[in-house]
Amino acid sequence: MTQRLTTTSPDFAAAFTTLVDARREADEDVSRDVTAILKAVRAGGDTALADYTQRFDRHDLNVSGWAVTPAECRAALDGISTTLRDALELAAARITTYHEKQRPVDSDGVDSAGVRLGARWSAVDAAGLYVPGGRAAYPSSLLMNVIPAKVAGVQRIAMVTPTPNGEINPLVLAAAQIAGIEEIWRVGGAQAVAALAYGTDRIAPVDVITGPGNAWVAEAKRQLYGVVGIDMVAGPSEILVVADAKNDPDWIAADLLSQSEHDPTSQSILFTDDAAFADAVEQAVQRRLPLLSTQAVATTSWAANGAIIVVRDFEEAMPLVNRLAAEHLELAVDDPDALFAKVRHAGSVFLGRMTPEAVGDYVAGPNHVLPTGRRARFSSGLSVLDFMKRTSFLSLDQSSIGAIGPAAVALAEAEGLPAHAASVSLRLP
């Protein structure tokens, strides 16, 4: 049953702490299985990939084909409706425009001591993109992952996607065609992540791996961090809606269910300062659930992980909002900017009554790959910077090394590193 909390209740503090600390990740201990898969792929390469694909996706890669051809992608794009094609192209254009503004600027200057110093940004050589093919097959996620890499200047993007029974979602291929992905492999799961990280005879290794996946994929990325860079270890989706009674309860119910329908472990939470409005939203949720093709998933998620919290006012709500550090935060109030000024931890914030989170999933522009599970306390959504690295540089002449070198010598000697000290002192005037 959906949890109902009120800040005036004597047990609120304990109940809210339980909500904050609740773990919604899958209960299965997949770590040992993933470790074995990674080891097998590193040792067996393509043979291990083919074995795992036969076992989990029920097709023979040597028959169905290892790679998706450019012709298949073109045919998929030609085969979708004009409406869908226009929607994908609009999304791609808006995502590109937004992320182009994230490109960092190199720096190069001379300081007061005469030292030239700065930084140069460059893209990684290769990025790997994981695209789910099971419960979730989202062309929007493909665009959100590949476009920042393209904007960063990554030269090679390798996409992997599971193809159960050898079949692949044509919308995913259409999005790949629009995004300009030329390397697509019909492999998925932890084994595909291992192939991207270690490389096989067919699949060359990459430097960064991004993209959503199930618990096995997330665990594989976690274990391989350091071998490659990763975007994040993502958990179940979540939304937090702060709404007053001036909203249409049916709109807010739809917003909450937009995340509940993702997965049985997704979480949707409403904060409101009006108990009657809370009742109206709860009733609207119950009316809408039977209308959804995703009813079974959404019902389970809402019952197990949904919550409605009634606060005295939104001033009281904002510290609680920050404790939850939600992936998505809607501020559906008269003055959303006033509340936004108090937000310290959130993956992405949606301001005002006419800004549903779902528009951000598709065509708004900002990236929808966001930190979950309270990780917004210390991390950000996917960006161009995830595909770039910064190289610092400096240049000294006789004058500038004379100005700062003696201090370096003193510190090196204090740390007991005489060769460090000598490499500087020998150059001093």
| Residues tagged active-site | 327-328
Six-digit token pair at 359?
Answer: 């528009």
Beta strands in 273-339 (DSSP E): 307-310, 328-332
The Cα 167–Cα 133 span in angstroms is: 9
The Cα 385–Cα 91 span in angstroms is: 20
Beta strands in 193-344 (DSSP E): 208-210, 229-230, 238-243, 267-272, 307-310, 328-332
Beta pairing class for 328-332 and 348-351: parallel
The Cα 333–Cα 247 span in angstroms is: 8
Q: Computed from CA positions of residues 387, 26, 132, 166, in that sequence, does the dihedral angle turn out positive or negative?
A: positive
For helices 295-305 and 249-260, the axis angle rounded to 10 degrees is 100
Under 8 Å between Cβ of 161 and 186: yes
Long-range contacts at 323-327 (CB < 8 A, ≥ 24 apart): 323/16, 323/20, 324/19, 324/20, 324/240, 324/269, 324/374, 325/371, 325/374, 325/375, 325/376, 325/377, 326/238, 326/239, 326/240, 326/269, 326/376, 327/237, 327/238, 327/239, 327/370, 327/371, 327/372, 327/376
Six-digit token pair at 29?
Answer: 């201990």
- 149-170 residues labelled b (16+ CB within 10 A) or e (exposed): bbbbebeebbbbbbbeeeebbb
The Cα 199–Cα 46 span in angstroms is: 9
Q: Which one-letter DSSP state was computed for residue 225? A: B
